[in-house]
């Protein structure tokens, strides 16, 4: 396929590189001037989109995603596909979908899970909203960039799946960190805590696969000084998106709201910015109940 790729940041660059390495013709643009091996350099977003069968975007937020869509859509041909892999608000994704549909262009919102490591290795998970036939047509690209792609329904549902998943993740990580801090103060050995919880009713991904306690369980960012695998700043972004969506549809999400507030304090008022989201554990270690 002839692919235009807009947004060659930490995630977009390896994704574009993998597509080029698989034999696709990829033209890339990033306002920072970033380039990727095998990817032709486009002078603008419009240039990257012109003549492309598929335009892929990987951008920081909904405002930028909408701005780039406004630049790309007018130069895209009918029957082509705009695939946005950014994590943005559901309303923004559905707005772009409507504008694309008006021009005869298919839009898929396909946020990812797996981080930079997954982007480099081509093992990302894509949560995809949009037309089923467009999802099927792009399955070869999903297979190159990722390990799993799930069609979640209509436009915006990819974003809905991402923020619901990460709301669970944020809430669960806080609970896991609170429990370890409590176990410490009760004199319960962390390894014993892990051995019990990871094999009984308290098991979770945050305990079993991404344990926030250094030296316990599989290797995780906790074993690397909490250098981010998934930054607390990004968790805060996703939790805020979950609460924006909850407000839009009048959903009661008290645990999601509480997690958002805790990560807000951690990132904006404490030392959480630039650290992994599991660094909540040392935060709780140093705090008393009052």
Question: Which residues are identified as catalytic?
Answer: 162
Rounded CA separation 113/77 (Å): 30
Contacts of 11 (CB under 8 A, 6+ apart): 58, 85, 112, 116, 119
């Amino acid at each position: 396929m002839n692919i235009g790729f807009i947004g060659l940041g930490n995630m977009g660059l390896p994704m574009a590189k993998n597509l080029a390495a698989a034999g696709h013709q990829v033209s890339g643009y990033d306002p920072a001037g970033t380039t990727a091996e095998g990817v032709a350099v486009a002078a603008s977003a419009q240039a990257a989109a012109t003549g492309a069968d598929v335009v892929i975007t990987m951008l920081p937020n909904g405002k930028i995603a909408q701005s780039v869509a406004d630049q790309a859509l007018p130069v895209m041909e009918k029957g082509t596909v705009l695939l946005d892999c950014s994590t943005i608000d559901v309303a923004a994704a559905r707005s772009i979908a409507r504008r694309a549909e008006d021009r005869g262009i298919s839009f898929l919102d396909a946020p990812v899970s797996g981080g930079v490591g997954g982007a480099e290795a081509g093992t990302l998970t894509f949560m995809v909203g949009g037309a089923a036939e467009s999802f099927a047509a792009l399955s070869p690209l999903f297979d190159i960039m990722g390990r799993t792609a799930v069609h979640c329904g209509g436009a915006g549902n990819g974003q809905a799946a991402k923020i619901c998943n990460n709301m669970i993740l944020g809430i669960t990580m806080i609970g896991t960190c609170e429990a370890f801090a409590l176990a410490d103060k009760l004199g319960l050995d962390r390894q014993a805590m892990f051995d019990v919880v990871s094999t009984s009713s308290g098991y979770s991904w945050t305990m079993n696969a991404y344990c926030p306690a250094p030296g316990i369980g599989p290797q995780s960012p906790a074993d690397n000084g909490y250098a981010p695998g998934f930054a607390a700043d990004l968790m805060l972004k996703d939790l805020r998106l979950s609460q924006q969506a909850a407000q839009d549809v009048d959903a009661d999400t008290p645990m999601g709201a509480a997690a958002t507030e805790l990560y807000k304090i951690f990132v904006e008022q404490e030392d959480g910015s630039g650290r992994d989201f599991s660094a909540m554990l040392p935060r709780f270690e140093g705090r008393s109940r009052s």
